[in-house]
Structure 1
Amino acid sequence: MGVNMERRKFIGYMGAAVAAGLIPGGVSRAFAAEDSSLPRGEKKPFSFEGVIGWAREQAKKPYQPPVVSDALKNVLSRIDYDAYQKIRFDTQKALWLNQDGVPPIAPFHQNRGTPEKVRIYIVENGQAQEVEYDPSAFAYKGDIQAGDMPDDTGWGGFRALYEKDHSRDWLAFMGASYFRCAGPQDQYGLSARAVAVNIALHDQPEEFPRFTEFWLEPTQDGGLHIYALLDGPSLTGAMQIACQKPNDTDIVMDVTVRFFTRQAIRRLGIAPLTSMFWFSETNRDEAVDWRSEIHDNDGLALWTGTGERLWRPLDNPKHTRTSSFVDQSPKGFGLMQRDRSFANYQDDGVFYDRRPSLWIEPKGDWGKGMVQLLEIPTDDEIHDNIGAYWTTDAEIPAGEERAWQYRMHWMKADMFGAANVAHTIATRTGRAGVPGQKRPDKGLKYAIDFAGGALANFKTEDKKITPDVSASNAAIQNAYCLRVVGQDYWRLVFDVFPDGNGPVNLRASLKEGDRQLTETWMFEHREHHF
């Protein structure tokens, strides 16, 4: 299928790199040089306009896939997850090590998931120098040794280290056009990509263009500007990511992208996000692990062009599913991790409660289109099964140019929720019907918890708050709402009985008269077994 999620392998290797690649190679930090000892090429003038020009010219030529020698393919095929953890970069060779206000850069080694090497340049005072591959930058602690690597070995990507703690990193680029950020709680989770090409088409496989070259430029305020070339069969691209210095609330990246099409593209995904959702309280009947929840993110948040706030809980469906949220001039969207309670995950190894949310804030008017949510069945946490991106219905012909700008917020709290609108904090399901009475053969009960906004000012006995629930191809029964005793949040409960005439799309909120007090909760109903 076109949604076979080949991207899964990249996430696994990036995780291995984070786990293993940051361990110093044995050189005492007390004797660290002021700058990297990695060899560099000659200086050449650099500008982002030059990168754009290269991408434009390359799009006029036939695509040339990267050449990987058989010798390199053979040795990389042996560098699996375990072998990769035994290849360690010497952080004393990191670029800009121990320079005040500059994040050190540590390149990645190639592995089974990244057979195509990338080129890395540093930019200072408008001049670029290539950072040449140096096998002595790595310590080989396993069966794979430096002498096994052929001459065409290169860098697999790079990561940015914390300025004051070189044992940890906060940003990583490796594999196709993937990158991710640890966020303010220093825990990697979901990933972003430069672009998605022909994503979620049932009759055509997705294409994965790749970053081929990076130019890295530190800023005076402790940030990092990343310029990148993108190449693939259907398009080329130039990307600029201006990363602000990490802080305790969010890590901000301003993105500018220019794409040039070689071939017609049926669906172009802009600002694509990639995540994992296995189970939570929403689909607890399908949990097979001892932990009660396992997910990088638990919902898709949208702020529409008309100002409406939407929340769509993530799901692990039985079959691949694509949901579209049509909009014009969107104000933002993102994959959120709202549940921050360690007790709900009980995982002190990978800390799902600390994983970042990622919000996309468009710059300029994105016009008409839609946010699409892609959900693919999974049976393990190692699989990447969630996608979200902005797209349009229109096919983009060959020879076209497109430009986009947006801001990315890697964050802990939902910083873009409206202060006067309550948000969803939990979605639970169970058998329909009334306790103590014969339960119906079919139907599902939903219990949705809302918190924030003005809800805390109301009491159940005030009888001012009413449920507003609608469904396509289904009947809604037993709908009511109440303030949970001893808590500041409200609960909306209702039963859904599908009529069998098509998909059941649900919408729900709480109101005081004509005033909506909560975001609009949305979900595509499916059967559960309790």
Structure 2
Amino acid sequence: MTRSIDRRALLGVLSTSTAMAAFGGRAGAQGPQAALTLGPAQAFDFEGLKTAAQRKAGQPYVPSPRPDPVILEKIDYDAWGQIKFDTNSALFKDAGLPVTFFHLGRFFQKAVEVYAVENGQARQVVYDQRYFDMPADSPAKALPKGVGFAGFRVQEPRGGALDWRKNDWVAFLGATYFRAIGQLHQYGLSARAVAIDTAVYGKDEEFPDFTQVYIEKPSAGARTITVHALLEGPSVVGACRFVMTRGKGVVMDIDQTLFLRKAVNRLGLAPLTSMYWYSETVKPTAIDWRPEVHDSDGLAIWNGAGEHLWRPLNDPAQITASAFGDDNPKGFGLLQRDRVFDHYLDGVFYDRRPSLWVEPKGDWGKGAVQLIELPTDDEDHDNVVAAWVPQAPAAAGARFDIGYRLYWLADEPHPTPLACCVATRLGRGGQPG
């Protein structure tokens, strides 16, 4: 696994409450901008991206470029946090949903090519240091021209025309990870485009990367933006389309086509990744002063038979995998049902973390919702994965077409009409006293 940045710090960076301080650059300034440099136009559509993915699947894997790793290693968390994107250089700045960019650094070394799409024509956004404010002695100053970006965010206005400069609502950063805020304006758990061999004995988990991203220009005043992405890894190549709408929370309409280069033991589709350390369910003695620490407290499933299931999350003593067999599930998700601040007593606001629900489009057939839980002794690492694992063999040369919607909300979008479980208590049996 690649080196990971401190999770609490990263969520602080992504948080809308700190976005202006962490990445806003001259967020309130109206000075001269560094105009984005765009490459030559080329025809683009999603079908063409799928064709390119299929072609690449038949070729040897080439790892994503790491421009000058020696310099990138010097851009540690502190140095990275001092590199602030100048919002005056935002992509689609005059449209309804401007796009800003993350810089490369020690924890995000793989560059992604970003393209602006308008009227069926794609033009690459060429990296330039002038898009970023950074200290004169920043190690990033030594990077060569055109190194690329680590990821991007989509901004939105909330309290005024220029308010978008400090408010983001979705972020793509690292491997195929992406996040969105819920209706409570808080980042939390993540989603991925695909999970390859998570917690498979004797195998390292594989983390494919988004290598090319195509962002369509939104219309003026739009609340929807469309992003296409090419993902590549040693075992898989895929084309993804995200139609993301900002409403009460965030809804993402996702279509994917995956081509397997190699056989995969555990192919996780629509994977969700979260953090669970402890809660009131089973709290070890004197582990931390806070009553609870988690981004999600349970896995909810609405299965093909119409049953609503609830599985409280756990911090196990060893890696555990739970499978819930199903045929054409109606949905599943990792939810944060406990919304009482006093149950957390933490300024990072676990009580506001979004719940994330997966709603399949079409028939998914037979398979299982699988829940992977890894032991942890802190809050800095995601240790929970939930994904749909199809029954069909994930053999080399196989193709998977899948569509689903992601709902980033305060609760599941289709709650049971009956009572739901909001808390669980477990303890040792035996004679008291």
TM-score normalised per structure 2: 0.92
User: Does residue 291 of structure 1 match 2:290?
Assistant: yes
Determine if the alignment matches structure 1 residue 342 to structure 2 residue 336: no
Q: Does 1:182 align with 2:181?
A: yes
1:252-271 equivalence runs, <5 A: 252-271=251-270
Q: 1: CA distance between counterparts of 2:235 and 2:331? A: 27
**1:29-428 correspondence runs (5 A):** 29-31=29-31, 37-69=35-67, 72-99=68-95, 102-141=96-135, 143-151=137-145, 153-163=147-157, 164-220=163-219, 221-244=222-245, 246-248=246-248, 250-286=249-285, 288-348=287-347, 350-419=348-417, 421-428=418-425
Given the superposition, is the C-alpha separation of residues 431 and 261 from structure 1 closer, same or farther in structure 2, using an over 3 Å criterion? closer
CA distance in 1, matches of 2:330, 2:128: 45
> What is the distance in 2 between the residues matched to 1:306 and 1:183?
29
* Aligned CA distance change for structure 1 residues 182 and 241 (closer, same or farther; 3 Å): same
SS at match of 1:423: coil
Shift of 1:20: 5.9
- Whether the 8 Å contact between 1:10 and 1:114 is mirrored in structure 2 is no
The answer to whether the Cα contact below 8 Å between 1:371 and 1:391 also exists between their aligned partners in 2 is yes
1:120 aligned counterpart, secondary structure: strand
**Are residues 146 and 62 of structure 1, via their aligned partners in 2, closer, same or farther at CA, if it must alter by over 3 Å?**
closer
**Following TM superposition, by how much is the alpha carbon of 1:362 offset from its aligned partner in structure 2, in angstroms?**
0.3
Deviations 1:155-186 (A, max 9, x none): 11101111343112111101111000011111
* Structure 1 stretch displaced more, 215-224 or 44-53: 215-224
| Shift in CA distance, 313/160, structure 1 to aligned 2, threshold 3 Å | same
Q: Measure how far apart 1:8 and its partner are.
A: 4.9
Any conservation in 2 of the 1:8–1:384 contact (CA below 8 Å)? no
Partners of 1:172 and 1:27 in 2: CA distance: 18
Secondary structure in structure 2 of the residue aligned to 1:52: helix
The alpha-carbon distance between structure 1 residues 47 and 7, as it changes in their structure 2 partners (threshold 3 A), is farther
Q: Deviations over 1:400-428 (max 9, x none)?
A: 21100000000013332122x11011111
Alpha-carbon offset, residue 146 of structure 1: 4.4
Partner of 1:166, secondary structure, is helix
* Cα distance between partner residues in 2 of 1:294 and 1:363: 33
Cα-to-partner distance string for 1:327-369 (whole Å, 9 max, x where unaligned): 1110000000000001111112x11001000000001110110
Q: Which amino acid aligns with 2:242?
A: I
CA offsets, 1:86-131, max 9 Å, x none? Answer: 11111111112243xx211001100112211001011111111111
Cα distance change of structure 1 residues 209 and 11 upon mapping to structure 2, 3 Å threshold: farther
State TM-score, norm by structure 1: 0.76
Whether contact under 8 Å (1:234, 1:261) holds in the other structure is: yes
Q: Is 1:16–1:84's contact at 8 Å kept on the other side of the alignment? A: no
**Which residue identity does 1:159 align to in structure 2?**
R
**Kindly tell me: are residues 219 and 153 of structure 1, through their superposed partners in 2, closer, same or farther at Cα, counting changes over 3 Å?**
closer
Distance in 2 separating the partners of 1:16 and 1:80: 16
Give the Å deviation of 1:397: 1.8
Runs of 4+ in 1 over 6 A off after TM superposition: none
Unaligned runs of 5+ in 2: 158-162
Shift of the alpha carbon at 1:80?
2.1
Larger Rg over CA atoms: 1
Contact 2:252–2:407 under 8 Å retained in 1:
yes
Q: 1:429 maps to what in 2?
A: 426
Q: How many residues align?
A: 422
Q: Residues 354 and 397 of structure 1: is their aligned pair in 2 closer, same or farther, counting only changes over 3 Å? A: same
- The amino acid of 1:390's aligned partner reads W
Greater relative CO (CA pairs within 8 A, separation 6+):
2
2:54 touches 2:237 (CA, 8 Å); kept in 1?
yes
- The answer on whether the counterparts of 1:243 and 1:254 sit within 8 Å (CA) in structure 2 is yes
Q: Is the Cα–Cα contact under 8 Å of residues 126 and 146 in structure 2 kept in the other structure?
A: no
**Aligned-partner residue type, residue 107 of structure 2:** G
Looking at structure 1, the residues matched to 154 and 313 of structure 2 have their Cα atoms a distance apart, in angstroms, of 30
Deviations 1:289-312 (Å, cap 9, x if unpaired)?
111011000000000000000000
Inter-CA distance 67–328: structure 2 relative to 1 (3 Å threshold): same
The verdict on how the C-alpha distance between 1:286 and 1:225 changes in structure 2, with shifts beyond 3 A counting, is farther
